[in-house]
């Protein structure tokens, strides 16, 4: 258990970026703890077919809306998933060390973490649906 003074803070997030040769969006997080001299980078990859599309289908059903609406929905969902993945990685102790980290999609070697992502999704899907409705207007 970490002391409260070494609480993780996120100072900046950029993205989404489309990774070449991979069906993922990635976000770059700058994370800091008060016990660290400098922030460190975490690249969080969100798998389009295995994370984004799965949760989008569960949240909204079959794809509907204009291409512009789909783009906004994709950005909202992929960023939310990336934020959840940082929370899960922090809870799992994956971000405890002072080093740059790449957080891969929760498939393959990290598939055991996907149920935790699904749990966060189920807890927050009503608020997420409301956010999408507010931003997209559908």
List Cβ neighbours of 58 (8 Å cut-off, separation of 6 or more): 121, 125
Q: How many domains does the chain have?
A: 1
The predicted model scores a pTM of: 0.90
- Torsion from C-alpha of 1, 51, 24, 17, nearest 10 degrees: -70
124: domain range? Answer: 4-136
pLDDT in the model for residue 138: 57
One digit per residue, the tens of pLDDT, for the chain of length 138 reads 444 457 889 999 999 999 899 999 999 999 998 888 888 999 999 999 999 999 999 998 887 788 899 999 999 999 999 999 999 999 999 988 877 789 999 999 999 999 999 999 999 999 999 999 999 875
- Cβ neighbours around 55 below 10 Å, total: 23
Structure tokens at 47: 């798998």
């Amino acid at each position: 258990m970490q002391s409260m003074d070494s609480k993780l803070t996120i100072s900046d997030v950029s993205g989404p970026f489309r990774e070449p040769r991979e069906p993922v969006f990635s976000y770059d997080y700058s994370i800091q703890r008060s016990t660290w001299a400098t922030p460190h980078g975490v690249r969080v990859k969100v798998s389009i077919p295995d994370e984004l599309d799965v949760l989008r289908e569960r949240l909204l059903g079959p794809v509907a809306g204009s291409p512009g609406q789909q783009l906004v929905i994709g950005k909202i969902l992929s960023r939310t998933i990336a934020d959840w993945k940082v929370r899960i990685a922090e809870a799992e102790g994956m971000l405890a060390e002072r080093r740059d980290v790449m957080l891969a999609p929760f498939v393959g070697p990290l598939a055991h973490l996907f149920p935790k992502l699904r749990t966060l999704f189920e807890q927050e899907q009503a608020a997420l649906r409301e956010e999408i409705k507010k931003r997209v207007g559908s």
